[in-house]
Amino acid sequence: MPDVRSDADCRRLIARLEKPVYRGCFTVIYAYGLRIAEAVTLPVTAVDSKQMVIRVIGKRNKERILPLTESILDMLREVWKTHRSKKWLFPSRRIITHLPDATARTAFNKARSECGFDDKFRPHSLRHSFATHMLQRGVDIRIIQILLGHSSIRSTEIYTHLNEPLREDLRQLLRQTTDGLFEGRRPSHG
């Protein structure tokens, strides 16, 4: 089962990241359900403020074009002002290379510890949480598949696991469907 955290926990961890580059990187991961490798390698040119999209290169070099919100665009501009890299949205300290995956993970793990979360909460948990929260909000699974960059719907279906809110919704639906179903009937033997 994927590790899924509440929206409040995801936001709390991200807010705990001190450096704007780290906080921006993990904000984008959670806001779009990106893989860490997709986020740390985002070039400045991935952001198209005219079309209001962000272009992400995923597995097998497949591009996905995701809608950009004003708040994410504003955040990315603020982060960029802290480093002014011509190439990378989230550069390393040297500015000429992108933020290393291991460095981002170290920052995440430090924030996780400071928040008191267990070590099952990993950067990929933000991706799982994004997908699950979208599903809980009623977003069609095919849209989630596109957002995550899954080539097969079967990869996306892991997010249809029955977590407690979905289980309770199902319980209520089953009650409505089955209440009174067997009233006044005797089982037949034969």
Q: Which residues are catalytic?
A: 35, 59, 124, 127, 150, 159
Return d(Cα 29, Cα 40) in angstroms, integer.
Answer: 9
The DSSP symbol for 99 reads P
Long-range contacts of 112-118 (CB under 8 A, 24+ apart): 112/13, 114/16, 115/9, 115/12, 115/13, 115/16, 117/5, 117/9, 117/13
List phi, psi (to 5°) of 119: -80, 5
What pairs with residue 47 in β-bridges?
A: 54
